[in-house]
Structure 1
Amino acid sequence: MASEERKTIELNDPLALRAYAHPLRLSLIGMLRRNGPMTATQCAAALDENVPNCSFHLRQLAKYGLAERAPAADGRERPWQATASSTSWTDDSDDPETRVAAAQLSAAILRHHVRQAEAYLAVRGEEPAEWRAAAGFSDEMIYVTAEQLVTLYAQVEALLAPYRDKTARADKSRPVSIVHMAIPVPEDGAP
């Protein structure tokens, strides 16, 4: 089977950055990317939300090009789908409003991943031993230039690329969230 095309949406409008930073919207897009097209009713059930709330936030995601209506199996279904497999943004804009909005989105993404990690830790003991051994956390201090860091990120992206293809999933595979952050820290080790 042919591999899935990896499409990225780049956000650079402050309104779109702020719109995407909403916790429910981040969860909705994540679910649509993982599961494929879903109705607002299915999203609400999966996220323990109410249907009108999910419907509103799906329309907001569509307003900024992050979600769209998917073809329906019948005339009554109204499924939504993500428009891309990933979203990117930068905070190197000359516009102060865009920089602030990008920082707000980065903080929202960080909170989202922290909640995901905490939820995993709460059930980690119930995971099979092979998954407890394979999954986990680590941190490491490296010394690189900005140019080297860009190269490192490109290398990490290349390593992850073959595993993004849902059509080439191995037996017993399951979704795994890979979070990589590069955060410059002071030389003296202060927080």
Structure 2
Amino acid sequence: MDERRHLTDPGEIRALAHPVRQRIMRVLWSLRSATATEIADAVGESPANCSWHLRQLAKHGFVEETGEGRGRRRPWRPASRSLRWGGSTESGGAAAASDELSAVVMEEEFEGLRAWNTWRRTDPPEWQDVADFSQALAWLTVEELAEVQAEFVAIMTRYRDRERPPGARPIRMFAWAVPAEPMPADSKPAEPMS
């Protein structure tokens, strides 16, 4: 069962389509809760700016206060863990907002991969040997692609909410399985070569 929050409102999608807000969400997902000051230290922004972005995220139900602390010492937490957007029924403003959010998320992930590639040789050898990326081209049906996507989600969420074991580090996981080329409007999918 897909438990991800499905974003359909252009306003809520655009609220999330901001690089600072994406970094704030990543910090909250990693730390589980944090104050605006703690988030500011992690994302390289001022506490006032982070506080403003947190209020914008809260307006759309992406974050919430934990109910602990007062004033600047109020911790925030994510209101939902998994999000999805960009369905085939979207059009107009929702489609444009979804495309914008997807571009921001992809750029943040690519930047994370580029950053890792610049410092990965400074990690201990055992971490260098297990950190990796894979690439493949496969011919899939719509049903098979849906199965692959579901497996990606299951793998990425398997370890997410458990107690963190000693020696664990935050690990970026980002996967895609998308058609390699557009389908011509006047044809059906090509049959695999035998």
TM-score by length of 1: 0.87
Distance in 1, Cα, partners of 2:113 & 2:96 = 26
Aligned amino acid, residue 169 of structure 2:
R
Distance in 2, Cα, partners of 1:53 & 1:75 = 18
1:74-93 equivalences in 2 (<5 Å): 74-76=69-71, 77-93=73-89
Give the one of 163, 168, 176 matched to 1:173.
168
Aligned to 2:59: 63
1:1-191 equivalences in 2 (<5 Å): 8-72=4-68, 74-76=69-71, 77-167=73-163, 169-186=164-181
Aligned amino acid, residue 101 of structure 1:
A
Aligned amino acid, residue 127 of structure 2:
W
User: Structure 1 177/78 Cα, relative in aligned 2: closer, same or farther at 3 Å?
Assistant: same
Choose between structure 1 and 2 for higher RCO, CA contacts under 8 A separated by at least 6 residues: 1
Residue ranges of structure 1 left out of the alignment (5+ in a row) = 1-5
Deviation per CA, 1:1-30, whole angstroms, max 9, x where unpaired? xxxxx9632211011111101000001011
Residue ranges of structure 2 left out of the alignment (5+ in a row) = 183-194
User: Structure 1 151/14 Cα, relative in aligned 2: closer, same or farther at 3 Å?
Assistant: same
The alignment covers a number of residue pairs equal to 180
User: Structure 1 41/101 Cα, relative in aligned 2: closer, same or farther at 3 Å?
Assistant: same
Could you say what the CA RMSD is over the residues aligned between the two structures, in angstroms? 1.8
TM-score by length of 2: 0.85
Deviation per CA, 1:122-178, whole angstroms, max 9, x where unpaired? 2111111111111122211011112211111112333344312332x3332211111
Residue 94 of structure 1, CA deviation: 4.1
Distance in 2, Cα, partners of 1:24 & 1:79 = 18
